[in-house]
Structure formats: structure tokens, C-alpha cells
Amino acid sequence: MAVDYAVIIIYLVGMLAVGWWGMRRAKSKSDFLVAGRRLGPAMYSGTMAAIVLGGASTIGGVGLGYQYGLSGAWLVFAIGFGLLALSLFFSARISRLKVYTVSQMLDLRYGGSSSVISGAVMWAYTLMLAVTSTIAYATIFDVIFGLDRTLAIMLGGGIVIAYSTLGGMWSITLTDMAQFVVKSVGVLLLLLPIAVWKAGGIDGMQKQLPDDYFAPMNIGVETVFTYVLIYSFGMLIGQDIWQRVFTARSDTVARNGGSVAGVYCLVYAVAGAVIGTSAKALFPKLDSPDAAFATIVGEALPVGVKGLVLAAALSAVMSTSSGALIACATVANNDIWKRLRRTPPEPAAADEAGGGGGHDEVRGNRVFILIMGLAVVVISIALNDVVEALTVAYNLLVGGLLVPILGGLVWKRGTANGALSAVAVGGTAVVAMMVWKGVLANEAIYYGLLASLLAYVVVSLAGKPTDPAVLAEWRARLAGRTSTGAEAEPDAADAAGAAGAEDAGGKPGSGAPAGV
């Protein structure tokens, strides 16, 4: 085990070192929150795959494979389908907006001030996503070091808080790329073939397991439909996902790089289900499906390889946790705190130059990451099971925000009142159905989405159309043209700064690598 311990410790120290290196490159708000909008296709694809494939996709995906066989891949399939849809149909338009949050997009599109309302919903979602990932450290560190639950959460959470606070999105991007490599090697190249071999190959598993384990819909049609509604649509509107789209240096990178990451998710889905099926053949009487990953790693892998695969599981959790943390802090600071204080936007020149107001912006966002990170650790220690809380957050996110966000992108007749009505009615319907049918009931998301859509269409058609000047501003931003609105000036300057950096031979002024 000494070799396995060494692998894990080297990995954790490496994450902190990358965080320190990233701090030297986060000199402006754009650098800190969206990596200067400079990521090329390779790094963009890797980091996007890292953020969407977390502990639920890795440990949970193997657990579903243990419980349902190959059809356990559907949860991660839904994530991959959502990422493909986002990349192919929406990412180019989202990237051109040059904003920092989903709520800022709503304000641009509808000409209202919905940031506080929509930001509160998005903040709850990202907070609980970070909490869920942080709690997963307890399981992994218990397997690795036998640590107490509280200490494990503090250790894992502390490392993520440290590198996220130091360098913001630059540090998170660099650590996510390292985590993507570790995850790919550990899960796809090592654990998958070894698990299948230990289980006697596909033929051996078919002899030991019921035929249902190899049926594509063994998990249930309704379950698959619910996964698509929650996770595929959730990929389209989550702040943690959009904030990665904002890091792409061009429309083409966002579209093609995201599509590559989506295909990778589909491969990862199959791998997790096959590993889980192998675990069922090898260890048919585990107490919990979620124990399948730790069991097959601990019992089937040789020394050294075991440490690398556990590092892969840890990297999956850390990538989701850090992405959710910076998204939570960005929303809390820019959509809630600044709106409540009515703080004006920083001058574009100061932000892009990395001096004056730029330093203030970086420092303010760094403080919010630290505060939100500490809150996540405290909540994670206090809660034993956040499945219901995460379900509430996802239901509110999709039921309340999906319609006004996608409606704003595809339907020009949608209005600010229609959007606010959709958030309020959809959110209320979701809560009412969860109270009536139970938090985990599928009906909550079904009726929440339907109510939100009806409210959006009816209220939008019943009221006055959106101001033509607002729509003109919106169309200009979607087309990638320079904005005329004062509110958007810092973001337009971000785009100009990124473009200038690329024109200068791919050497951004911040010192960060372009086109990697």
C-alpha cells in the first residue's frame, strides 16, 4: 500500500502546485473567472469532460452498472447527450455573448433585472452540487487512508478551496486537465480491461449474470426519460457548464471541443456500466451498489495500479467540486451581492490590464470562492445524505430556468414578464409536486416544466413585445459584434483582449498559454 499512498500524495501535492502556478496568471476578472476566454480545442475538451464527469458519473455510474447491468450507462449517456446538444446547437451563441453568468444572459435578452431571482436558483443548484462532491471525499479517503469522515471532508475540501481560491478558473482549468488525463488512464485504460478480464470476459459475465443485465432498457424507460429531462437539459443551462463555454477562445472551439467531450462522455458511460457489471459477477452480494467501485479497485487491482485508479476517482470528484465552487461563487458575487448593493461594472481597461479595478475584481471573487468553499465544507460535514437536497436543486434549476433560458435563445417573442412568470410558476409547481408526491418523485420535474412553458408562452403573448432596442443589442451580441450597452462594455473588452492576445502569436499578456 505504500506505493499507492505515494501515488495519491504526489497527486494531491501536484494539484496544490498547479493552483499556485495559476495564481500568477489570474491578473484580471476575465482571467480569474473564465481563463481569459483563451482555451484552445485540446484543453477545452479535456476540462469540459472533467467538469461534467464527477463522482456521480464515476462511482455512481459503476454502482448503476452493478445494480442494472449495461443499462446503468443511461445516466452518463444523458449527460453526454446534453453536452452534445449544448455544443452543437447553443455553444456558439453562448460564447459570443461574452458574459460571466447565465443570469447576465437573461438580463441581456429580456432587458430586465432578473439576476437576483434567477441567480438565487442557480446559486442553490451550484452550492448543493459542490456539497455532494465534497461529501464524496469521505468515501474515497476512507478507502485510501481510513480517515474519519469529518477529517476526510476537510482535507479534500481544503485542497479544492486552496487551488480554486489561488488561481480561479486558470488553476481549475489546469488541474482539470491533469485530472482528465488521470481519469482517462485510471478508469478507461486500467480499471476497465482489468475488471473485464478478472470477470472472465463478456462471455464469462453472461454465464454468471441474468440476461436482464445485458438488456439496454433494464433500468426502466421512465428512469431513462427522467435522466434526460434532468441531466440532459441540466447540461444546457447550468452555470458550471456555461462558465466553461465562456472559456473557449472561439465559436469553433466551443462547438467542436464540446462535441468531442460529449462523445467522450458516451464512451465513459459504457465503461462505467461494464465495470459495474464485472463487479457484480465478481462480488455478487455487496451491501450497496455504491460500494462496487471501491470493492473492485481494492480487490482486483495490483499495487500501484490501485493508487492510480483511486487517484482517478479522486480527480473525478475534485473536478466537479472545483467547477461547482467557482460557479457558486461567481453567481453569489456577480448576480446576487453586486445586484443587491447596486455595484456598477468595473472599467474595461482596468479589468483587462490586470491593474487597478482588475485587482479589486480578482480579490473580490477570490474572497467569495473562499467564503463559499468554507460554507460547502461546513454543510458537507453537517449532512450525511444530500441526494434529496440535490434533487430539489436540480428540479428547481430545470423546472424554473430551462424554459426562459432556451426560450430566450430560440423565440424572439419571449418577454421579461414571461421569463419571470416561467421561473415563478415552474418553481412553485416543482415545490408543490415534491411536497405532494415526495422529493424524489418524477412528477415534480414533469409538471414543473409544463407549468413553466405554459406561463412563459401565455404571459409573453399577452404582454407587449420586448423593446426593439433590447433585441437589437441582443442580436448584436449573438453575432459577436461590439456591444453598445454600457453594462456589457467590460465583457466586450474581454473579447477584444483575448483576440489581441491570439493575434500576437498566441502569447496572451497574462502569460497563459493560448491554443493549447
The torsion angle over the Cα atoms of residues 503, 507, 512 and 513, rounded to 10 degrees, is: 90
Cβ atoms within 10 Å, residue 475: 11
**Burial label, 425 (beta-carbon count in 10 A; 0-12, 13-18, 19+):** buried
Amino acid found at 25: R
What pLDDT does residue 88 have?
95
The torsion angle over the Cα atoms of residues 155, 161, 167 and 168, rounded to 10 degrees, is: 140
Q: At 308, which helix (H) or strand (E)? A: helix 305-330
Cα–Cα separations (whole angstroms), residue 482 to 96, 193, 248, 300, 412? 10, 51, 18, 57, 21
The closest of 262, 248, 252 to 86, measured between CA atoms, is 262
Amino acid found at 314: L
Task: Please name the residue that has the C-alpha cell 409544463.
Answer: 450
Amino acid found at 248: A
Q: At 157, which helix (H) or strand (E)? A: helix 149-183
Q: pLDDT 10s digit of each residue in the chain, 516 long?
A: 677 778 888 888 888 887 787 777 777 888 888 888 989 999 999 999 998 998 778 888 999 999 999 999 999 999 999 999 999 999 988 888 888 899 889 988 998 666 678 888 899 889 988 888 888 777 777 777 778 889 989 988 899 999 899 888 988 888 889 889 989 999 999 999 999 999 999 999 999 999 999 999 999 999 999 899 888 998 999 899 999 999 999 999 999 999 999 999 999 999 999 999 999 999 999 988 888 998 898 888 888 888 888 888 888 888 888 999 999 999 999 888 888 877 655 443 344 444 444 556 788 889 999 999 999 999 988 876 656 667 777 888 899 899 999 999 999 999 999 999 999 999 999 999 999 988 888 889 999 999 999 999 999 999 999 999 999 999 998 887 754 443 444 444 443 333 333 333 333 333 332 233
What pLDDT does residue 27 have?
77
3-state class (DSSP) for residue 247: coil
Distance, in Å, from the CA atom of 365 to the CA atom of 470, rounded to the nearest integer, reads 29
Q: Which residues pair with 39 in a beta bridge?
A: 248
Contacts of 21 (CB under 8 A, 6+ apart): 167, 171, 174
Task: Sketch the domain layout of the chain as residue ranges.
Answer: 2-19+36-384, 387-481
Cα–Cα separations (whole angstroms), residue 471 to 67, 95, 109, 220, 455? 50, 18, 7, 43, 21
What pLDDT does residue 511 have?
34
Grid cell digits, residue 31: 482571467
What CATH number does the domain located at 2-19+36-384 have?
Answer: 1.20.1730.10
Under 8 Å between Cβ of 7 and 312: no
What pLDDT does residue 315 have?
85
